[in-house]
Amino acid sequence: MNTELPETLDVIAVGAHPDDVEIACGGTLAKLVQQGYRVGIIDLTDGEPTPLSPGPEFRLKEARNAADILGIHVRETLELTNRRLFDNFENRVALASLFRKYRPQVVLGLAGKTPMASPDHWQAMQITDAAVFYSRLTKWNEHFNHTEPHTIKKQVWFPLGFGSLNYPEGSGQFVVDISDTLEQKLESIRAYQSQFPPEKNRVFRLVESQNRLLGTSAGFEAGELFICSTTLGVRDLVQTVCP
């Protein structure tokens, strides 16, 4: 058993590539940090090659800058292959090993397919779903650097397919208020200069407009949508529907 484990994280968000998490739920991650939670990001690949990036080191620097803007405590990049990301045993174990290392309460992962965009997103969802399960399995420690099993309390999905108004189904959808972190989120996306040059400014308009629409639907200035993998329970109906 490895006794030299780092400080635990409360929440880990998993993306296929650097910038996935920022685009989908960067505002929520920044808000969690403000609320005192320890937050991490795991990118399954380095996202390279891409047309305008000089190479992996440049993209990783952008990712570190974006994490700093959001206040993220830990960011890790697995050495899985961009454009050839597939759900398999080895990739599930690689991610589950990090879950055992950082022992989060909540894992945020991609929700569903993103038509006309990278198929890596769909594979990342399947890898994440499996890794959440693998993280808690006993009598299998030899596959996980002999770290002890860790049970993740809740898994929540975030949609990334901003080109569609349809969202994947789940046991409950909810919107997080990011009114005071929307600009912080947009700044973190702008950190990826190689991915979003001036000719792609429409991406920022699309992200902001969707966040403002989602927020308005819930009574906020801006919001991000999440889908719970299990049924959401309510103890105080009035406090829940009239916060």
Euclidean distance between CA atoms 72 and 29, whole angstroms: 8
Angle at 111 between CA 96 and CA 118, to 5 degrees: 90
Instruction: Please choose, from the candidates 108, 77, 92, 101, the residue with its C-alpha nearest in 3D space to the C-alpha of residue 149.
Output: 101
H-run or E-run covering 85? none
Q: How far is CA 210 from CA 120, 162, 174, 206, 207, in A?
A: 23, 8, 15, 6, 5
pLDDT in tens, 94-121: 999 999 999 999 999 999 889 889 999 9
What stretches of 86-201 show up as alpha helix (H) in DSSP?
89-102, 120-134, 182-190
pLDDT at 167: 74
pLDDT at 4: 82
Other C-beta atoms lying within 10 Å of the C-beta of residue 71: 16
Residue 187: pLDDT over 60:
yes
The CATH number of 11-241, from 3.40.50.10320, 1.20.58.1880, 3.30.930.10, 3.40.50.20, is: 3.40.50.10320
Average pLDDT over residues 180-206: 96
Q: How far is CA 36 from CA 14, 72, 83, 235, in A?
A: 20, 11, 36, 24
For the chain, the domains span 11-241
Residue 64 burial by Cβ neighbours in a 10 Å radius (0-12, 13-18, 19+): middle
* Cα end-to-end distance, the chain, whole Å: 44
pLDDT at 170: 72
Q: Up-side HSE of residue 9: CA atoms within 13 Å toward CB?
A: 25
Looking at the chain, the whole-number percentage of residues with pLDDT higher than 90 is: 85
The packing angle between helices 56-70 and 20-34, to 10°, is 30
Residue 169: pLDDT over 80:
no
Question: pTM of the full predicted structure?
Answer: 0.95
